[in-house]
Every structure is written in C-alpha cells, then in structure tokens.
Structure 1
Amino acid sequence: MPTVTFLPGYRKVTVPEGATLLDAARAAGLSMNVVCGGEGKCGKCQVYVKDGTVSFDREKYRRFFSEEEIARGVCLACRAYVVGDVQVEVPAGSLIEEQKILVEIPGMQEIPLNPAVRKYEVRLEPPSLEDTTPDLGRLLEGIERQGGPPPNRVYAPLGVLCSLPQVLRRSGWHVTATVALVPGGYRLSSVDEGDTTGRLYGAAVDLGTTTIVAYIRSLVDGRILATASNYNRQISCGEDILSRVNFSRRSGLARLQQLAAESINEALTTAADAAGIDREEILEVMIAGNTVMTHLLLGIDPAYMIAEPYIPVVRRMLSTAAGRIGIAAHTNAGVYTFPAVSNFIGGDIIADILAAGMAEREEATLMVDIGTNFEAVLGNSDWMLSCAGAAGPALEGGEVLFGMRANPGAIERVRIDPDTLAPSVSTINGLRPRGICGSGLIDLLAELFRACVIDRTGGINLELDHPRIRKGQYYPEYVVAWKEETSIGKEIVITENDIKSLIMSKAAIHAACMTLLDAAGLAPGDISRVCFSGAFGNYLNKENAVTIGLIPEIPPECIENIGNGAITGANIALVDRRRRKELDGLARRITYIELNADPSFMDRYTSSCFLPHTDIALFPHVQQTLEACRAKQGVRSWQA
C-alpha cells in the first residue's frame, strides 16, 4: 500500500490506493479543517504535494487557489486521491486550531441547591453474636437514621458490596455513604472511610458536535469550582452529524462512543485538576447534547435518524453509571442525558429552554440556536412550538471563500465608513486577519447593505468607483483586508457568491421563525423577547441581525444573548433535582413542526431571500434607518 508522509512533522501512514489525503491525515492523527465535511465545497483543507503525485482535478477547484499556490502544488486533501507514495506539506491554516469556545455563563441566575445525590456520615455499632445484621443492612439502617431513604428503596451495586466489609472494618465502622436518587428509587454509589461529607462534586457537560465544555461544582454549597473546554475528538471521523452517522454505519459506532467519552474525560480531567479534586470524587454528571450526539455517547445506533421517517431509538432522559460508558468520574456516578423532542430538537435545546426560563414565563419568547443547523423554539409556560433546519455552513464560515471558524486571527467585528467605504475590523486575539468568522460575516453583510455597496438581492454595485469594489476572477467582490494587512499572504475578500450564500442561510432561519409565529397565530410584535443561544448567537451584533433579516424585527432591547444555553441548562439540572425531574414533561409539551412538510415554508423562504425581506414593510425601523442612510448618500429611496 502507498505511504503518505505529512510535513512538517514527518508523520507516516500507509493507506489503500484511491484513499483521499484527508483519509490519510485522519489515520495519521491530524485534525484537518473540513468545514463542509470533506465534500470539496469549502476549500479549507489545502495541502501542498512536495514529492510524488496524487489524482486531483485542479481546474474543478481552481476558484480556491491563487496562481502562486497552484505553482506550489496545492490541492484539497478531501478531493486528492493517493495513487502512490507521496509527501505532503500541511499548512497550519488547514488544521483545526484552538477555537473561541464559549465557556462563561453570562448572568446565570442563582440556582436553588437541591442535588439528587447526597452524603451521609454514619457511625455504626459493630456486629456481635447478639446482633448479626448483615453489613449492608446495618449500613442502610444507619443511613435512614441520618435522614436518608428507607433501606428497602436503596439499591447497592455489586462493586460497592464487594468492598463494603473491608471499608467498614478499616474505618472502625465510621463511614460516609453516598446515596443518589435514581429512577425507581435510590442507589448506594459509594462508601468512604471517615467523614467526607464536605467533598461531594458534580459535573455539567455540554457535549457539542465540535466542542466540549465542562463545569465542576460543589454539590455541598453549589459553588462553581472550575471550567474547561476542548474539541470533540469525533471530528476526526466527520465534521458534521451526518458524516458521523455514516461513519457509525461503517462499523464505527464503538469508535465514536470511545471518542465522545475521551473528549468529555479530557475536559473533566482539566477541570478536576484546576479544582484540586480527584475525578473519582465526581458523583454525578449531567450531559446536554443533540439527539445524535447523545446516542453516540451511549453507544446507541443513530442510523435510522437520517432516513425517513427519521426515528431515534429513544427520546426520554436516560441514566447510566459512568463506568459503563467510560466516563472518568466515580465508577458508580450517575450520568444523565437530557431528553429530546425529535431527532432534530435534542437535549441541548431542552437545556437552552431551561436556561432561557421559557417554561416559567407567560410572555412569548422566541429562542434561536444557530450553527451548521439551526433550531428555533417559540412559546411560554403554557405551550411551545419548535422546528429545525439546515442553516448551511455559510454562517459558520463554510462555503465562504475566506470564511473560517472562530479561531485566532478570525475577523469577528466589522464596521464600514459609509463615506469612504473603508472597513474597520477586529480579530480574535488581536492577530493579523486570516479570515472571517460568523459574527464578522453578519456584520459585513449589514455594513455593506447600509453603505449601498450591495443591493437587496446581495448584488455588489460595480458602478461604485472604489478600489475595494472590483470584478474578481469569478465574481464581483469587496476587499475586506489588503494583502499586506493579512497573515495569509493574500487579500481577504467577500464575493457576491459568498453574500448570496449568506442570504440563503439567513433566509432559512427567518422563514422558520415566521412559520412558528404563524402556527401560533402570532405576529412579530407579539414576541416579548428573542434569545440567541450558543457561541454564534453570543457574539452576534443584535442590530445587524435584524438589519439583514435574520430574525423578525423587534426592538434591540428585547433581544438577549444567553450564551452557552446548553451548559447553563446542564448546570441547572445538575444542581436542582426538581428541575431535572420536569425535563421529560417539558420535552413532551413541545410540538415539533416539520418544515419540509409545511407547504408555506418554501414561500416564506423565497420571500426571505432578500435584505432584509421581500416586504420591507415587515422591517419598519430597518427601512427608516436605511432610508436615512440613502438620503445622506444621495441614493434612490426604496420606494423608487
């Protein structure tokens, strides 16, 4: 079999002839930046062939490369096929780097401390000929005397029973028992020597498709002790949910389960070290993830969720012991996963709802979580409607020529001077620009629109005599950063094709929101607030989101960025067992609307494929602002 050598680290792997360089990179342990899932659409996995040859149709993907890059032997790893021994250079920009992961919870309300797991310090009388009560019965009676549950409701795992006689006798019959409330009763999770009642810890985890976030909290006083984040190692098996499900169908389910557990363990280890505790002291873990991620973590086959009629194996909350799925906590720690509404509205969205407090409010709230896919929920304490769809990778930087994830050097904020048309940009970590991430793309779209550089269809006005506005090799484009200003050795532009992709993505989200409103018999003015959840929403400029028609127009003060709603909701369910108990009921209350089956959705989508919308009257304040801008610049009004 051919050998592929990756530079600069000289990693070597052998692969079958006909494998892609992306397959080889994964085998070599390299995490390539394949936003589009390896379909040749994003152009992010560029590599250079230094020795040997590969089969690659360079003309088909020429739009991604400069003449200089072509001369150096550039190709896309996902579309280049191995035909013999080859040596390949992988530039840093083609690898997944440290991402701006949303960890902090902005303004999280005080959570009532009512955990489902508790410790009981017990001093027992040793057995005698007069008192031959078995060790377990003796312990359970002692727990009941300390206010714990009755013995007949407590289950003791075999592992605890095997060590119990030695622990009781070594401690002189002075122990601390950990008892967890579980479905159907209680579980005796552990028995420690002496008094350890002050050391009781739990973990809240956001199991994202791309990133993992973990919080460790004291379940004695509720304090947050440490946080940690890292990438989901499943990326090596596929960038998106669909590719991972397909990987699992190719006998990869066990591997994906292992990678999910390893990813969580990496975050738990980092957080536990920072908190100064042993992972074995973590007695409960609450995990929020989408429906597919939850199935993969638990080792449940998700294959039937991606084919009609799109059925998951299970939707309700599940619990298991940490040791059974390889989670690095106490082996008997309870691991709980959030319930789901459907295969598209998963536990992460239930956690978002919990974080937004939607179920406690009489006023209607619209909650939107945006990624490669989007989820939207509309409702209040009495009713809730939900839907989901493909936002497309454009909003996450995919399928945009210079789009990228929120990595260092990504342009995350943009302002354009309406008189000079010169941009002012800020980048993550203040580095020289390398590309544009999602929040920067939204800013750029709104700013170009206000400055009359683009029209309502996204077309670039080439009649403007300005060096930044030009006809590119394939499409008209606007130069965001000149070559000497960037760190990539070439100009960063946004093309008319990029802009139209962004408009299509935002149109899907707006159409979904309007579909929910229509189903509820409401108008945009009936919404009391809009909540954006997730990293994308947290860094989104609210005014710009309305300007481009990403969401229905409501006053900016009614739009909230709730941050990482999944980790917020996981924290709430970890600390307050009453709220956790309500989750299955909450999921059952949510009605899911299948957009593909709604005949009016496509009409709404088509109408939303304009800035901000075909009917500008739906955005009166945006219209007023734009009219003022155009009057100042001497541009014809919208009514002309």
Structure 2
Amino acid sequence: MGVDLDSVCGGRGICGRCQVVPSVGSFPKWAITAGPEALSSLGAAEAAYEGRRPLGPSARLGCQARVQADVVVDVPPESQLHGPVVRKTVDVGDIALDPLATLHAVTVPAPTLDERRGLAEVVIDCVADEWGVHLAGILPGALAALHASVAADSPDDAGGRLVTVAVRWSGPERSKRTGMVTAVWPGVATAALGVAIDVGSTTIAGHLTDLHSGDVLASAGRMNPQIRLGEDLMSRVSYVMMNPGGAQELTALVRDSLAALITELCSEAGAEPDAVLEVVLVGNPIMMHIALGIDPTPLGQAPFTLATDASVEVGGPEMDLPCPAARVYVAPAIAGHVGADTAAAVLAGGPHRDDAVTLLVDVGTNAEIVLGSSEGLWAASSPTGPAFEGAQISCGQRATPGAIERVRIDPVTWAPRVRVIGCDLWSDEPGFAEAVERRVAAGVRSTAAGVTGICGSGIIEVIAEMYLAGVLSSDGVIAAQPGEGERASHVASDGRTSSFVLYEPPEGADGPTITVTQNDVRAIQLAKAALRAGIDLLRGHAGIEAPDRVLLAGAFGAHIDPVRAMVLGLIGDCDPDGVRSVGNAAGTGAVRALLSGSQRAEMERVVRSIRKIETATEPRFQELFVAAMALPHATAPTPLLATAVDLPRPSRRTSSPHNRTRRRRAVPMSEES
C-alpha cells in the first residue's frame, strides 16, 4: 500500500506503535463495501495489550489484525514509519497588529454589603476605569469561572484581588468595535495565543501565534484523516450520500484532527490550549461545511449551493476544540468550489492591491484560480483531481522521505537523474545510494530506506523533462523502444505502449524500479488540461492576454519548478521571471486574518467584489480543455517560454521511434540544481 507501519516490538503486539483504524461502510472510490468481519476478531495479543493500555477508539493493532475481506483502514500519522512531509511555513510580511482578542489585568475591589452590583458588572467597570475600555458584557462560559478566579488571587492591602480578563472584539472598524469578556484568570495572565489553520482535503496545517507580538511560535501539519474515505472531495460527498451517518463521521474526523493539531502546536510551544483565544479556519467549501457540521451534499451537484458564503463565528467548545475561551472564525467563501482558502490566499498575495495583472493558482485536488488586478478580480475552480499529489500515478506517492521530487533527463542519452525528499544529493553524485539507504532525515524514525516513488513536484518535472528530451511527443505519447544504443535502456515496452524507466535501484539493493507509464502521462495531461482550461476561461472573461506575474500557491505550488510547469503548459505563456512560488498562501492569509481585524475586514470586502466563473456550466470549457491536452498547448504560442528553454518542434507520435526533435539548449547549472 506504500504505507509502512511503525513497530519496535517486531510484530508481537506489545508496543502499540502500529495501531490502525478500520472503517465500515461503502466506499465507491475503490468499489469496496467493508463490514466488521473484514478483519480478524480481537486476538489474545490485542486483548493483553488493551489490558495494559487502552487502544484508541475502534483501533486495532496492525501487526495482529488479519485481513479477511476487502477493507479500508486509516493509518494515523503516529503509526506511520515514514510520516508524510507536510511542508507548510508562513511569512506574513509587514502588517499592523490589530488582534481581536486582548488581555486586561484589573484589580477587583473587596466586596462590601453596600455594593449592589454583581461581580460581572464590577469587573466590567474596573476594565473601563483602568483601561478606558467599555465592554458589552461577559459570556456565560467566563461568568461561570468569575467567582473562583477572583477568589483564587491573594488580596492586596485594601482587600482587592487581581484578575486578568480576555476580551473578544467584534466589528469591522476599530473605533466602533464592541467587546465581550470570554475568559477570566486569577492574577496576571500574559499568554494570548491564536491558531490559524488551513484545512485542506489532503493536509491540515496550523500555525500558533502570539497575538500581542505577532510571532509564530509553532507550526505543524498532518494528513487529513478523511483521506481513507475518499481521496478527493467528490468521493467524500459520495460517502456521505451512500452511508447513513457519513456526514457526522467526516465531521468527527476533521474536528478530532483539529483538536489534536492545536494540542500539538501548544505542546511544541510549551503553552496550554486554554491560552488560545482565537482560531481562524480556512479551507475549501466542502471542508468548511463538514467542519461546521453542515451537510456538504448540495455542493456535490449543480448548482453547488453554499449554506452560506459569509464568514461564520462559533465558540471553540462548539467545534470540540480544547480551547474553551477561543472564538473560531471561519473565513468567507467566494463560490461553491472557490472557498475560504482562496480568499485567504488572495489576502496574502494581494492581487487586489496591485495595478499589475496577477494570476494566482492554488493547485490541489481542486485547483482554485484567481486572475486580475486592483481594477477587478475573477475566480474559478477546475477539477484537477489528485494526480498532481501522486494519486492515480503508477509509482506516485505523497511527499514522504524517499519520494522523487526533482528530475533531469539528458536530451542525448535520455539518462535520468533524480533527487529525493530527505537527501540533498542527485542520483548521479557519489554517495547517493548510501545516503538514501541511510536516509536519516527529519520525521524519519527508522533507517529504512530507498527511492520509493514520485511525489507531485517530481511528476511535473519528469513529464516536462521527458518532453524536452524527446521521450514524449507533443500529444503525450512515449517513444516506442528506440532499438540499440543508450536510449534503449530507458524505455520499456508495455505491449501496445511504452514506459520510461526513471530509476532502478543499484544492483543488490532493495526497492522498486520507478517508471512513468503511458497512463501516468495521460493522468497528468487530464489534470493540467483542466487547470489550463480554467485559466484560459478567466483570461477570456477578463479580457487579459497574459498576466504580469504568476503566483503558485499551496504545498504543491511551493515546490514545483516554474519553468517545468510552463513546459507542461500549466499556466500559459508568460515571463518566467514573473513566476514564483508563494508557499502556503492560504495559511499565510489565515495568519494575517488572525493577527489583524483590519486584514480580516479587507478579506471580506475583497471576497464580495470577486466575479465568479463556473467552469462546469461554461460552453467553451470543453473546447479549451481539448486544446490544453497537448504539450505545452495545441494552439497557443510560447515565445516567452522559448527564452528560457529550447522547445522541441511540435510533433505527433503513434508508435514510430524516429520522430526527430531539436536538441534543447543546455539549462544553466543554477536551474539544474
């Protein structure tokens, strides 16, 4: 399955490191209906382990449970030998701190018989007297702890007691905001923390911040546990439709993951979850509906009606989060399949602030596209599917240590060289084989090794390099077996089609041979054509020939080579120097909205002004899609790309290996590495 279970006991059912969670129900994605009998019943070793240390809910020991029928299992991150590499960092740039949660320490006077005010009113008046801040009231959760918090502090000489109140402000303009007390602590509390979380369909990434200083104290990510119920969003909607209680199951999965992520972030920073006062959630509309406990099935079919496109605020406990004083802000959506994550990416990238035309692309299982400038923005989504993330690819995998992430192919010999996650060496450099066999890298808990597959950025590079070297024709057909010579060793016959041999383990070493098949190429062509057709639709609606700059967002966009993306035809012809990766722009925008109420208000204003284009109902989409299947494109010229790399002459290939292509100009060393 490509997922190695952790174990330190050698499969004896003692350590508990290999826990998995089986699922029961119908899974149309894999044409599986799994019942409780799919795994063997609880054995003696599992019963003995549970007597020492309880298993997690519905969990089994992977080393003991035997597969007896088709089954879908979740392997949580802590049970994976080679944990996923969730590479999402944040740089919010320069923003004015304007947090919506603040702390105020006040001295509450000793009570007297003459005092007719309640303790809540006394505290509110103290905040007004000492801070010049006028509050609207105290939330019930804070009210319940008020007496105990005041009594817990030692009185001063006048009998007064010191308490700290957390105040949550609401309202777009700072001068007109109203405040409510959300928490009370005895003495002086100094920790006011916030968490910004990007809830993706594949990964969930979060950042813990100090609301007073703006510092990011910790960042962490984990795989979305819903993956076992469907790789893509539509599969999860289908799961909800076909399984009673499926919506509640998906909601519980994502909320448990959010709670665990917040706990992990606080633990990493040496903080308590009680100090988290603000949580910002961004994500695609289906994930946001599920997180809020809203049925996502209306988003699975036209007209893709949102329950609401406005922002939503709830208390942390309402979403089962371990931060009782926190308010959870779910950012607004743009359209049925262009969600809060895109709104946050727009806030981070700032195309609405720039006179230059910007193309912002967030590539995931569903690609979100925004095009425009300060004069106006257009947005759309395209169903690219999970191919760019390694799914539907014969040797594809997620971004874990050992996955190929960079590729170069010699245009004369077709000899490939690769670089993998967890190793800085290229495969033709001395010591590469030994390094990947050891592979002591961050997140790897074992010396298990080898080149294991291709991740998303590697897939883009290998298809682009195959085209540049002449292995692929412009219509995406792999060359037939080229006869004798060095090239012959890199192409294998698959019957009526061919495959390209990307990597073979050294003699005597374990590990798979990594190949790129004709079906792999087709899967990438379909995904890139969907994305490119969406971009071309927006260009037509906006009347824009080409953008001045291109921002590639998301975990995938952060690690692909811009020139190779252009060779593939992902984004159209533009100045390569204007193409850059902006990392997890959705997470960056979420942090900006966390640290500044003004930024939050700006995001809401911009979202209301964006013009939405629905690709599913556009009559030209199919025409644009077909043209975009070719590499780089069937009809669109690429003069700007030609300044960065020599492109082969456009060619079509059926089976002949003798199509001649012009050798590309050598790529500078800075690009080769």
Q: 1:357 to 1:132 in 2, by over 3 A?
A: same
CA separation in 2, counterparts of 1:397 and 1:36?
A: 20
* Deviation of 1:163 (Å): 2.2
Match of 1:495 in 2: 517
Classify 1:531/1:141 alpha carbon distance in 2 versus 1 (closer, same or farther; 3 Å). Answer: same
With normalisation by structure 2, the TM-score equals: 0.78
Which of 591, 599, 604 is the matching residue for 1:584?
604
Kindly state the Cα deviation for residue 219 of structure 1 after the two structures are TM-superposed: 1.2
- For the pair 1:101 / 2:86, whether they are aligned, the reply is yes
* Alpha-carbon distance between aligned partners in 1 of 2:375 and 2:39, rounded to the nearest angstrom: 63
Residue 485 of structure 1 and its aligned partner are, at CA, apart by 6.8
1:115 matched to 2:99: yes
1:482 aligns with 2:494: no
CA distance in 2, matches of 1:178, 1:613: 56
Contact 1:35-1:239 within 8 A present in 2 as well: no
- In structure 2, relative to structure 1, the CA distance for the partners of 1:492 and 1:90 (3 Å cut) is farther
Which residue does 2:21 correspond to in 1? Answer: 29
d(CA) in 2 for partners of 1:284, 1:100? 27
SS in 2 for 1:226: strand
Matched, 1:543 2:540: no
* Letter matched to residue 256 of structure 1: L
Counterpart check, 1:368 vs 2:390 = no
- For 2:214 and 2:73, the matched residues in 1 are separated by 46
Q: 1:445 aligns with which of 453, 460, 463?
A: 463
What SS does the aligned partner of 2:646 have? helix
Partner residue in 2 for 1:213: 205
Is 2:478 the counterpart of 1:464?
no
Structure 1 equivalent of residue 446 of structure 2: none
Letter in 2 for 1:512: G
Q: Is the 8 A contact 1:486 1:492 kept in 2?
A: no
545, 556, 571: which one pairs with 1:523? 545
* Partner residue in 1 for 2:381: 388
* Residue in structure 2 matched with residue 427 of structure 1 by the alignment: 420
Correspondences of 1:11-160 after superposition (within 5 Å): 29=21, 37-38=29-30, 85=68, 98-105=83-90, 107-147=91-131, 149-151=133-135, 154-160=136-142
Q: Note if contact 2:231-2:386 (Cα within 8 Å) is conserved in structure 1.
A: no
Q: Contact 2:27/2:239 (CA < 8 Å) preserved in 1?
A: no
2:402 is equivalent to residue 409 of structure 1: yes
Q: Residues 288-307 of structure 1: matches in 2 within 5 Å?
A: 288-307=282-301
- Which residue of 567, 590, 595 corresponds with 1:570? 590
- Looking at structure 2, the residues matched to 292 and 115 of structure 1 have their Cα atoms a distance apart, in angstroms, of 28
Distance in 1, matches of 2:343 and 2:120, equals 39
Structure 1 match to 2:220? 228
Offset of 1:616 from its aligned partner?
5.3
Q: Distance in 2 between matches of 1:391 and 1:212?
A: 19
Equivalence for 1:553: 573
d(CA) in 2 for partners of 1:391 and 1:619?
26
Deviations 1:145-198 (A, max 9, x none): 2335424xx2322222222123223323311111101358322111111111x2
Work out whether residues 228 and 268 of structure 1, in 8 Å CA contact, stay in contact via their aligned partners in 2. Answer: no
Query: 2:535 maps to which residue?
Result: 513
1:233 touches 1:262 (CA, 8 Å); kept in 2?
no
Confirm or deny: 8 A CA contact 1:102 1:534 kept in the other structure. no
Amino acid at match of 1:132: R
TM-score, with structure 1 as normaliser: 0.82
> Once the 2 structures are TM-superposed, how far is the Cα of residue 31 of structure 1 from its aligned partner?
9.1
Q: Please tell me the root mean square deviation across aligned C-alpha atoms, in Å.
A: 3.4
1:354 Cα offset (Å): 1.1
Q: Deviations over 1:8-45 (max 9, x none)?
A: 9699xxxxxxxxxxxxxx9961599x9994259xxxxx
* Residue 10 to residue 298, structure 1, CA distance change in 2 (3 Å): farther
Q: What SS does the corresponding residue of 1:29 show, helix, strand or coil?
A: strand
Is 2:619 the partner of 1:635?
no
Write out per-residue CA displacement over residues 567-601 of structure 1, whole angstroms, 9 at most, x where no aligned residue: 11111000011111232222111111011222222
Most deviating of 575-584 and 181-190 = 181-190
Shift of residue 361 of structure 1? 1.3
How far apart, in 2, do the equivalents of 1:303 and 1:185 lie?
A: 37
Q: SS of 1:324's equivalent? A: helix
Report the number of matched residues: 571
Quick one: which amino acid aligns to residue 266 of structure 1?
A
In the other structure, the counterpart of 2:317 is: 323
Task: In structure 1, list runs of 5 or more residues that go unmatched.
Answer: 1-6, 12-25, 41-48, 52-83
Equivalent residue runs for 1:223-372 within 5 Å? 223-249=215-241, 250-329=244-323, 331-372=324-365
Equivalent pair of 2:478/2:499 in contact (CA under 8 Å): yes
- What displacement does 1:490 show? 3.8
Letter in 2 for 1:351: A
Distance 1:103 1:328 in 2: 23
Matched, 1:201 2:193: yes
